[in-house]
Amino acid sequence: MSDPACTGVPVLDAAAALAAASGIGAEFAAGAAERDARRTLPYAELDRLSASGLLAITVPAEHGGADLKAAAVAEVFRRLAQGDPNLAQIPHSHFVYVGHLRRRAAPEQQEKLFAEVLRGKRFGNAQTEFGTKHVRDHRTTLTPDGLTSEGVRRWRLNGTKFYCTGALFAHWIPVLTHLGVDGPMHVAWVRRDAQGVEVVDDWDGIGQRTTASGTVRLQNVAVTDEWVTSYAPTFEEPQTFGAFAQLLHAAIDAGIARAALEEGAEFVRTKSRPYPDAGVERAGDDPLVVHAFGEMDLALRGTEALLARAASAVDAANEALDEDSAAAASLAVAAARASSAQVSVRIASRVFEVAGTRSSLAGVGLDRHWRNARVHTLHDPAAWKVQHLGRWALDGTPPPRHGQL
């Protein structure tokens, strides 16, 4: 892993960040199909992303960052995902944990880790025990290991995590862990190259193939108190932590859908043959094809509008956070996420119906959009988003507080 930005990255305002995301997204799009086909991991592309300054846009202003609002961040993600959703998903947890730091970290911890982000460093994640969520004996734990010579508590970190998107490419891996088997949840910040940290590239999903969302093994990793932050209280009070994470997922879905629609349209314009019954010389003039693209564009415009509205609700909650504003943000994001999950899969599938048999050839690469949408939208069930919206509409029941809302 290279270290592209040791001396600092640009601090981008909203306009510069959006322009950078458009330009870099277009660069990423040029090689996306080939990277997917060959499963070529995007080390160089991530270094490009780090050096651009885009990964530092949410660092608080008091720590030297641009502190951009959720609306700008969501649009950055949507544009990156339109280019290559793998390269949008990889830094998803990076942004979530930058948000965790501003809420839960001590000032000294913030100073150290925000400085790392402003130097171009990337955060990964190690959150989920694979298939052992409720099995006590398999929990990732921090166990006491005495004191340093300066009197600082030492810990040993042990466990195995899966779905660790970003960890393979990270400089720091935030690890969700218990203090002891039954203790409260904390985050242990470990260096990617620390002794006892093993990142295994064993992700073999049918979509999002180059995210390297595989395994992290932690064996007696040394951690001191300065690299441990509290996590358990996150959802004990009104918050937008979960809503922000889900907002970025919705942005990725929307980017996938827009790329599928535009590539499908390009294929129809340049390669599809018209159906004889249409009586036209160009497939793009077939009224059934035109209508199908109109329906897809209509659905996607709705999703993009819900995404923008959800981002505004998150920003409004952050400005004046209380029970009502946090619930409003979570519900707005739930609507955007439920819509984006449905629309991205539907559009990525339907483009084949209107583009014709030739569009299904492996070399064309249109199938990657459906595979990416299908895998990415499995992060959490969209049906539960609809449930929470329904309970609110019926009884005014606010959504629960957790990382999926």
Task: Over range 134-158, report the average pLDDT.
Answer: 89
pLDDT digits (tens, 9 = 90+) for 227-249: 999 999 999 999 999 999 999 99
Q: What is the pLDDT of residue 147?
A: 95
How far is it, in rounded angstroms, from Cα 170 to Cα 117? Answer: 11
End-to-end Cα spacing for the chain: 34
Query: What are 65's two structure tokens?
Result: 């960052």
Overall average pLDDT of the 352-378 stretch: 96
Q: In whole numbers, what is the pLDDT of the chain averaged over residues?
A: 95
- All structural domains of the chain, each given as residue ranges with its CATH number in brackets, are 14-118 (1.10.540.10), 136-232 (2.40.110.10), 237-395 (1.20.140.10)
Average pLDDT over residues 289-303: 98
Is residue 376 scored above 70 in pLDDT? yes
Average pLDDT over residues 267-280: 96
* Residue range 341-357, pLDDT digits in tens: 999 999 999 999 999 99
The string of pLDDT tens digits covering residues 210-229 is 999 999 999 999 999 999 99
What pLDDT was estimated at residue 4? 46
Mean pLDDT value of segment 283-309: 98
When computed from its CA atoms, the radius of gyration of the chain, rounded to whole angstroms, is 22
User: In which band, very low, low, confident or very high, does the pLDDT at 135 lie, cut at 50, 70 and 90?
Assistant: low
pLDDT of residue 36: 97
Residues 150-186: pLDDT tens digits?
999 999 999 999 999 999 999 999 999 999 888 999 9
User: pLDDT grade, residue 404 (50/70/90)?
Assistant: confident
**Mean pLDDT on 99-121:** 97
pLDDT digits over 7-62, tens only? Answer: 689 999 999 999 999 999 999 999 999 999 999 999 999 999 999 999 999 999 99
Percent of the chain with pLDDT over 70: 97
